[in-house]
Structure 1
Amino acid sequence: MATGQRHPGVCPVDDGLVRRLVGGQFPRWGGLAVERFRSGGTVNAMFRLGDDMVVRLPLVEGGAGDVPVEQAWLPRLAPLLPVSVPEVLGAGEPAEGYPWPWSVYRWLPGENPEAGALGAPVPLAEDLAGFVAAMWSVTLPGAPQAHRGGPLASLDAETRAAIEELRGIPEEGVDCDAAVAVWEEALRAPGWTGPPVWLHADLMPGNLLVDGGRLSSVIDFGCLGVGDPACDLFPAWNLLPAEAREAFRAALGVDDATWLRGRARTLSQALIALPYYRRTNRVMAGNARYVIRAVLGEG
């Protein structure tokens, strides 16, 4: 997942390293083929291992803490969710000069959905709502705080800084005043006053797999935890067209304030991502542009 990488402190990984790690720690798999799997992600590298497994290694220190979180919680969440999630087959340890923990998962077939090119957007929206509702209904105790799952105001400084940065990039064509208006409207909306709910907290298209246009798997649970339910409304704007967006909302029964916060959280992520990735990661920058158009186009 190193395509367009620009994070600092990237650890170099390649097929040879993965073969040595697997052979040293999981000798029963040591003779299987290893092949890098390319994607637009930026925090982890993935390598196919044989026909039905995948090795996932953090590329940066910031992703290393996600590994034990996934290893601990995915087995407990899996039976509670309506679609497949990664199945941990092996917990790797630092070795061979590689400094962080890593995982072997069962390979999940499917493809990432592409915003603007969905075969069955309304059924997919309903599938996504089913997954989100299932996450919200989880009652497992001891959950961590979800990444960015706190109050919307905690994102204020970073969001406004991104908007100002985009003012200096006129070729991106972002209506920065409109972005400020959307953001400030959400800040005025009531915050979440209920108990924190379980969240995936990173429902980007790259973390979804579809088969025949329908949701088959959700991957990359490194940001999971509890927090504001608005954090899992991202697909409404980063993937779904308008009619499917409404189907997604109707299936979840989301109130106006939560919807406004969800829209603003999705916009915030896109505003921050666009100047960061615009010249280095086509996939991430392209989705950021899609979100900004979708949100600001709602008027």
Structure 2
Amino acid sequence: MHADQLVVSPSTVRALIDEQFPQWRDLPLRRVSASGTVHEIFRLGDGLAARFRLQPDDAKLVWSEVRAEAAAARELADRTRFATPEPVAIGAPGRDYPMPWLVQTWLEGTVAIDDDPSESDGLATDLAEFITGVRRIDTRGRRFSGFGRGGALANHDEWIQECLTRSEELLDVDALARIWQALRELPRGDSPDVMNHGDLLPGNLLVHQGRLTGVLDVGGLSPADPALDLVSAWHLLEAQPRQVMRACLGADDQEWERGKAWAFQQAMGAVWYYVDTNPAFSEVGRRTLSRIIADSAR
């Protein structure tokens, strides 16, 4: 999926585990087929999962990131009724893999990208409940880091322009450019930063019979725009359930529109970047943009 992507083979993972965590030497290991774009996931036995970052970076920086991910997972654990993975151990570089890696608990379930729950009012209420629970976590004086989504929308202009250029053969870029011109101007007002999951995509949500059962990839838990987690309304839900979710959250017009804007920003990159290498994820972006176009036309 990435030009500089590392090859993380089962034999490499087996060697790393056997050397660093001999207590798990006898547990079966298998690669997990998933639509994720950041990590390669291997299931270890019945209860564990090992996560390996796909793109190389400075090992010291990745040590810091992996420790932060583990801390975020511990902070979120048991704060809502929905299952989330918990950190178990951090592995060191070695045996053909140059960065630290994380072992966490495995959660059973079906990701929403494989079991479309888009018409479910129940999922809408569950998402609102999860978001509310995350918002209740104390920021402890922390604020948006300035990196990625969750700050000022207009700061993403350059990225959106690149996405529009690269999407000319894939999307109605004229319509999307007009939508972004309006979204980028949305005011933040005086809304303070609150805690957000930060990446509520279909591939990170476990569902059963149209209800939310678990939430994955929790390492990005951090303070940001309260509207950031509202991306889930556009990534996952059709019009009627979206309104159910909005009513449960009590989102005003400005917050709701900013949530749409953050979903737009995320979806624009997903379509062209992954169109050949991760078609399922690219399609998530297309579906999100279709919902935004339809809503903007009302």
Separation in structure 1 between the aligned mates of residue 163 and residue 97 of structure 2, nearest angstrom? 34
State the Cα distance separating 1:227 from its structure 2 match.
Answer: 1.0
- Match in the other structure for 1:210: 207
What residue in structure 2 maps to residue 34 of structure 1? Answer: 29
- 8 Å Cα contact 1:115/1:239 also seen in 2: no
Letter paired with 1:204: L
2:49 and 2:113 mapped to 1: Cα distance? 22
Residue 211 of structure 1: CA displacement? 2.5
- TM-score by length of structure 2 reads 0.91
Which runs of 5 or more residues in structure 2 are unaligned?
Answer: none
Aligned to 2:283: 286
Q: Compute the displacement of 1:114 (Å).
A: 3.5
What SS class does the counterpart of residue 219 from structure 2 fall into? coil
DSSP-derived class of the 1:210 partner: strand
* Aligned counterparts of 2:116 and 2:196: Cα–Cα separation in 1: 26
1:156-184 deviation per Cα after TM superposition (whole angstroms, max 9, x unaligned): 111122123323x1xx3x22222122212
Q: Which residue of 2 aligns with 1:240?
A: 237
Identity of aligned residues (%): 36
Alignment-derived partner of residue 198 in structure 1: 195
Matches within 5 A, 1:129-208: 129-141=128-140, 143=142, 145=145, 147-167=148-168, 169=169, 172=170, 174-208=171-205
Q: SS state of the match for residue 222, structure 1?
A: helix
8 Å Cα contact 1:147-1:225 kept in structure 2: no
**226, 229, 248: which is aligned to 2:223?**
226
Aligned to 1:23: 18
Distance 1:158 1:288 in 2: 15
3-state secondary structure, aligned to 2:78: helix
Which residue matches 2:49? 54
Q: Would you say how many aligned residue pairs link Structure 1 and Structure 2?
A: 290
When the two chains are superposed, the root-mean-square deviation of aligned CA atoms in Å is: 2.0
Gap regions ≥5 residues in structure 1:
none
C-alpha separation in 2, matches of 1:191 and 1:178: 24
CA contact (8 A) 1:115 1:238 kept: no
After TM superposition, the structure 1 stretch with the greater mean CA deviation from structure 2, 219-228 or 136-145, is 136-145
CA positional deviation for 1:58: 0.8
| Aligned-partner Cα distance in 2 for 1:239–1:131 | 14
